[in-house]
Structure 1
Amino acid sequence: MPTIALLLASNIFMTTAWYWHLKGGMTKPLLVVILISWGIAFFEYCLAVPANRLGYASGWSAGQLKIAQEAIALIVFGVFMVTVLGEPVSWRHLGAFACLMGAVAFLFWGRS
């Protein structure tokens, strides 16, 4: 559970770092946006690295950690896309989410 919580928090920071400027920050110079994004991403790394170490020490494989991170990233991005950017969710988003959840199931199926 700590692995999932840390991955969730890290993905919130990373999604913000990558996409915050699309809503209201497009007039800022690119270098400023990059520097601000790096500052935000620092906190993502401070959470993602321990998440991966804890997960790996708990018996998760590197593939399981990566696919879990991707699934969480898609969920976090979906929420960000709708709430911050105001974009609608379409059937394509839901289909992509279903496919990714299938990938998660394949990697965790039979995990002891």
Structure 2
Amino acid sequence: MNSFIQSIPVPLQSALLLVLSNVFMTFAWYGHLKNMASKPWFFAAIVSWGIALFEYLLQVPANRVGAQQMTVGQLKVMQEVISLSVFVPFAVFYLGQPFKLDYIWAALCLVGAAYFMFRA
């Protein structure tokens, strides 16, 4: 298993860990709006904190692995692109929010940010 993981390029390892991390992050930050709307805010905060633990268990290694070949700025921009890529389907399909054209414009801005951070 270790040799399989080591055969995956470092940026891809980091990206995959960040995708999983962002799934947990998105549920921690926004899942309570659907699942615990009738519960006191502090109960939702404690549950979200527990979910966020799993986010950090993936996010910290993602950044440590990624930092082997990428700058901190590149890692941050990659995380933001991934965050929006996870958030939009979550908002639309899980929370039932309407899809907005603003998501496209925000994504285009992040593509520009990624271009400037990753260009040679």
Q: TM-score band (shorter)?
A: over 0.9
Question: What is aligned with 2:49?
Answer: 38
Structure 1 unaligned residues grouped into runs of 5+: none
Partner residue of 1:89?
99
Percent identity over the alignment is: 48
1:52 correspondence with 2:45: no
Match of 1:65 among 48, 60, 75: 75
Q: Deviations over 1:50-76 (max 9, x none)?
A: 00000001x100000000001100010
Q: Deviations over 1:70-95 (max 9, x none)?
A: 11000100010011111121211110
CA RMSD of aligned residues (A): 0.8
Say which SS state the counterpart of residue 70 (structure 2) adopts: coil
- The runs of at least 4 aligned residues of structure 1 exceeding 3 Å deviation read none
Q: CA deviation at 1:24?
A: 3.3
Partner of 2:111: 101
Separation in 1 of the partners of 2:56 and 2:44?
Answer: 18
The aligned amino acid for 1:26 is A
Unaligned segments of structure 2, at least 5 residues:
1-11
Which residues in structure 2 correspond to 1:10-21 (within 5 Å)?
10-21=21-32
1 CA distance for matches of 2:53 and 2:35?
22
